[in-house]
Homo-oligomer: A and B are copies of this chain.
Amino acid sequence: MLNKLREKIITEAQVFGEIVKIDHFLNHQIDTQLLDEVGVDIAKEFPNATKILTIETSGIAFASSVARTLDYLPLVFAKKVESSITTGEYYLSKTYSFTKKREYSVRVDKRFISENDKVLIVDDFLANGEAASSLIDIVNQAGAEVVGIGIVVEKGFQKGRKVLEEKGHKVYSCSIIERVENGQVYMK
């Protein structure tokens, strides 16, 4: 748990229904001091990783901060693609965006994950676990090992953690939103 992040969400988040808007320090403008603290906080939970995997766009900065903390591990970011056509050069996995209400695919060049890799998946948000699940699928296709999933902000009232833990994976979140009620955010 990263207390500074927890406090920042409580005091600074704007709430619209179930939407918690923290784009002024997380996913449009980034507080780069917090970024480095997140990197250290996630890295300490997964010291055995050999590679960091994230998905474009807003996970990239946080994943790079985790990577540098773990003695400059290589960072791979999966790309979102509309089509599910694959050329044989890519690992491809279908996923669904609840925010955008549509299916899309993510892909990673086969050169960038090998069966010897111990992959730490990093993302900014965990909600239903769709994005993380598709990254796990890609790591599995490569015959590599998932050492865990590191998240900046978890929506604890959605099913993401349950989905990932049921697949047998360790999930660590720097902060967990327990519920949102009457425009107020309650943190774990």
Contacts and interface: CB of A to CB of B under 8 A. Distances in A.
Interface residues of A, number: 29
Contacts of A67: 30, 32
A73 B36 CA distance: 12
Interface string A61-73: 1001101100011
Contacts of A76: 28-30
Contact of A61 (B31, B64, B108): B64
Contacts of A115: none
The complex is assembled from copies of this chain, and their number is 2
B112 A75 contact: no
A53 to B, nearest CB: 10
A44 interface: no
A176 B154 CA distance: 42
A5 B168 CA distance: 40
A23 interface: yes
A72 B24 contact: no
B68 A36 contact: yes
Given A35-B64, A56-B57, 16 more contacts: A23-B109, A24-B112, A28-B77, A28-B108, A29-B76, A29-B109, A30-B64, A30-B67, A31-B72, A32-B67, A32-B68, A32-B74, A35-B68, A56-B56, A61-B64, A64-B65
Top 4 A-B pairs ranked by shortest CB distance? A33-B72, A61-B64, A32-B67, A56-B57
Interface of A: 23-24, 28-33, 35-36, 56-57, 60-61, 64-65, 67-68, 72-77, 79, 108-109, 111-112
6 contacts: A28-B108, A30-B77, A31-B72, A56-B56, A60-B60, A60-B61
